[in-house]
Amino acid sequence: MAEKLLEIKDLHAGVEDKEILKGLNLSVNKGEVHVILGPNGSGKSTLMNIIMGHPKYQVTSGTMEFEGEDMSGLKTFERARKGLFLSFQTPEEIPGITVENMIRTAKQTITGDKVKLVPFRKELKAQMQELKMKPEYAQRYMNVGFSGGEKKRNEILQLLMLQPKLALLDETDSGLDVDAVQIVSEGVAKFHNENNSCLIITHNTRILEKLKVDKVHVLMNGQIVEEGGAELIEDINSRGFTHILDAQNEAK
């Protein structure tokens, strides 16, 4: 039987007294690739931040379990240690901390083991080569002066180096040129295997080309209003989102 990795039930949550998620249900099994589609402002990034435990957001009711364990009360770093990873829609610049230092420190903190520098450097270099990142970027400060596309590749580098159980990818493909989307898509495909899962937000489904999508969820007005297989992507690409709400209103 499929093993549950993430289970969210009737989640109500928001920011600064504004309710954004209004009874959201979502379930992801181990080994699966899920996609969240939805119009601008529907709550997709909010959901990702809430799963990761961003302190700015408040959960008012509902439950969120990871590997069967209640996540409420867990801080962001504790969620990262349990195997959650978020690739930001807008990656932060961190002056003073190099890419190499940041990823090595994160790996040590997550695993609790000392990460030896020489083999780590070798692995980092190999992964950077695959992502077509110049090796000198390892010694640059995290994202400082990186182009939009370079920041997104750097997110995938962290994903490959940290090997989380659940990768939350928030529009990792936005702002990428055609070749870079291909590289990022290959990076995600390389990461994914039967022991981990991906939850991907995208408006440009080309990132999915190298992946076998198990389930698609449509998020509108803070709720999952439609679910289906990969065929739902084609349907939304050709017909947009509004017909889903129209069909639901007609059914009422």
Site for ligand ATP in 7-36 (CB under 6 A): 15-16, 18, 20
Determine, following the binding rule CB under 6 A, whether residue 228 of this chain makes contact with ligand ATP: no
> Rounded distance, CA 231 to CA 163, Å?
29
Collapsing DSSP to helix, strand or coil, 89 comes out as: coil
Please work out, in degrees rounded to the nearest 5, the angle formed at the alpha carbon of residue 101 by the alpha carbons of 53 and 199.
35
Determine, following the binding rule CB under 6 A, whether residue 245 of this chain makes contact with ligand ATP: no
Determine, following the binding rule CB under 6 A, whether residue 46 of this chain makes contact with ligand ATP: yes
Q: 5: number of CA atoms within 13 Å, CB side?
A: 23
Site for ligand ATP in 105-164 (CB under 6 A): none
For residues 44 and 215, which CB has a smaller minimum distance to ligand ATP in the complex?
44
Distance in Å, CB of 219 to ligand ATP, minimum? 7
Pairing of strands 84-87, 166-170: parallel
Determine, following the binding rule CB under 6 A, whether residue 205 of this chain makes contact with ligand ATP: no
Which helix (H) or strand (E) element contains residue 169?
strand 166-170
For residues 129 and 204, which CB has a smaller minimum distance to ligand ATP in the complex?
204
Task: Convert residues 47-76 into a mask of x (bound to ligand ATP by CB under 6 A) and - (unbound).
Answer: ------------------------------
* Number of residues this chain uses to bind ligand ATP (CB under 6 A): 12
Determine, following the binding rule CB under 6 A, whether residue 238 of this chain makes contact with ligand ATP: no
Among 27, 28, 32, 42, contact with ligand ATP (rule: CB under 6 A) = 42
Among 28, 33, 38, 207, contact with ligand ATP (rule: CB under 6 A) = 38
Determine, following the binding rule CB under 6 A, whether residue 43 of this chain makes contact with ligand ATP: yes
> Rounded distance, CA 164 to CA 227, Å?
25
Distance in Å, CB of 57 to ligand ATP, minimum? 8
For residues 18 and 114, which CB has a smaller minimum distance to ligand ATP in the complex?
18
> Rounded distance, CA 40 to CA 28, Å?
23
Distance in Å, CB of 226 to ligand ATP, minimum? 15
DSSP H helix total and E strand total for the chain? 8, 12
Determine, following the binding rule CB under 6 A, whether residue 91 of this chain makes contact with ligand ATP: no
> Rounded distance, CA 82 to CA 6, Å?
12
> Rounded distance, CA 121 to CA 244, Å?
49
CB atoms within 10 A of CB 244: 18
> Rounded distance, CA 45 to CA 3, Å?
25
- Interacting residue ranges for ligand ATP, rule: CB under 6 A: 15-16, 18, 20, 38, 40-46
